[in-house]
A and B are shown apart, each in its own frame.
Chain A
Amino acid sequence: DAGVIQSPRHEVTEMGQEVTLRCKPISGHNSLFWYRQTMMRGLELLIYFNNNVPIDDSGMPEDRFSAKMPNASFSTLKIQPSEPRDSAVYFCASRLQGIEAFFGQGTRLTVV
């Protein structure tokens, strides 16, 4: 298996633009997590899904952020409109219930 695949690896966008981050979890995993990592705040959980259903989105910063998981093999995290303070590395991770979480390589987002 290729592991968790995230795209793009790097994204530079202008303030106000829409940004869409993509994630393909490991086949057969039933939980998917979106995290944001910054020096100041560390690795923050934004939202997680079980069996494609959003379970807890309490970490989503505000309404500008949204996440979807239309099927077991794909998820998106969208920021609209983007702001400079959204600049961070965004990680997707997947897990089979009760087992370790596997992370993608992350998307480094820079909003200028």
Chain B
Amino acid sequence: TQLLEQSPQFLSIQEGENLTVYCNSSSVFSSLQWYRQEPGEGPVLLVTVVTGGEVKKLKRLTFQFGDARKDSSLHITAAQPGDTGLYLCAILYNQGGKLIFGQGTELSVKP
């Protein structure tokens, strides 16, 4: 059983469309991170959310942490081919020492 469930697993859209991907758990977390991974590279941190209900924006990307700190979403406005990649959510588990990832959402944005 995955500690973090991400959906959808795969998403293929056209340039200019909006999309939302989700990261859910039955557990409460003190913080949650979103990473993006491009082919042939390791994941790179996009954002960390800490407070329930928190919203953070990174250009066209909007991240939200659920009020109960059990879930998070990533919304991309007007997607571009450069947004293509694997989006991973992650939590610090076991008193902040252990970094655990969800399965990821594979996003493909076609021109």
Q: Chain A residues in contact with chain B, CB under 8 A?
A: 4, 31, 33, 35, 42-43, 45, 48, 50, 55-56, 91, 93, 95, 97-98, 100-106
Asked whether B72 is an interface residue with its Cβ less than 8 Å from the other chain, the reply is no
Contacts of A93 in B (CB 8 A): 42, 99
Decide if A45 touches B97 in the complex (CB within 8 Å).
Answer: no
**With contacts A33-B99, A42-B102 known, is A56 near B94, CB below 8 A?**
yes
How close is A5's CB to chain B, nearest CB, in angstroms?
A: 11
Asked whether B44 is an interface residue with its Cβ less than 8 Å from the other chain, the reply is yes
How close is B50's CB to chain A, nearest CB, in angstroms?
A: 11
Decide if B45 touches A101 in the complex (CB within 8 Å).
Answer: yes
Q: Count chain B residues whose beta carbon lies closer than 8 angstroms to a beta carbon of A.
A: 19
Decide if A104 touches B42 in the complex (CB within 8 Å).
Answer: yes
How many A-B pairs with Cβ below 8 Å?
A: 49
Q: Bound state CA distance, A93 and B103, in angstroms? A: 17
Contacts of B44 in A (CB 8 A): 103
Decide if B45 touches A100 in the complex (CB within 8 Å).
Answer: yes
Q: Bound state CA distance, A70 and B58, in angstroms? A: 39
Decide if A42 touches B101 in the complex (CB within 8 Å).
Answer: yes
Q: Mark B36-55, 1 if CB is under 8 A from A, else 0.
A: 00001111110010000000
Contacts of B40 in A (CB 8 A): 105-106
